[in-house]
Amino acid sequence: MSVLIAAIDVADAAAARNAVAQLPQSVWLKIGLELFTAEGPALVRELAAQGWPIFLDMKFHDIPNTVRGACRSAAKLGVRLLTIHVEGGVEMAQAAMQGAAEGAALAGLPAPRVLGITLLTSGQAGTQEETEALVVARALQAKASGIDGVVCSGLEAAAVKAACGPDFLCLCPGIRFAGSGATQDQKRVCTPGEAVAAGADYLVMGRPLFGAENPQAAAMRALAEMQISVLP
């Protein structure tokens, strides 16, 4: 079953708490660079302690030992997912997996899934066919390194699953409702239903939820399009 992740892309803890209060408990939360830089691990611990599954989207990309340490620290926070850049190479990816396992063991927690950024959904590599080829090539590299899956747009999810197998995870940002028009800074977008049909395991939505008059209703609409029936 696919999972809906609400992107809490706000400036501080007060705004984050306000955003989270508008969501159904069935979604996960994404904490990215802006909020983590402002509030650090304390807010991650707070939300995780409340029972929210956390996707920590820091997109680590550094020398292997540094990434290993960062993933170790992230895993100790109790997050479910974290991200690295596939472009960091196989050694860095393997170090990330090692660090995530170490941190989880130290905290007595399950290890988070490590996902590799293939190509940001704000960009393209030529035509969509050329973009898909690049994303699949990076997904195959990610699989060879032993990480759990990749971040790609819903437009490439089916091709990634075909190349890497159904158990290789796909997390897809750039999810928009049909007819919404505005894609903001995203270039490769699709609807919740299209992403699920393509095999996406995790769907990330931010502005389509929090830009709506009723974010909880928007989240419930997305879940319905994903064919997930839940109570708010």
Which of 114, 217, 131 lies closest to 174 in space, CA to CA? 131
> Is there a catalytic annotation at residue 143?
no
Q: Which amino acid is at 225?
A: E
Q: Is 156 exposed, middle or buried (0-12, 13-18, 19+ CB in 10 A)?
A: buried
Q: Are 2 and 202 in contact (CB under 8 A)?
A: yes
Q: Which amino acid is at 164?
A: C
Task: State the greatest distance between any 2 C-alpha atoms of the chain, in Å, as a whole number.
Answer: 47
Where does the chain show beta strands of DSSP type E? 3-7, 28-31, 54-60, 81-85, 113-117, 149-151, 169-172, 202-205
Q: Which of 59, 143, 161, 187 is catalytic?
A: 59
Q: Are 60 and 83 in contact (CB under 8 A)?
A: yes
Active-site positions read 59
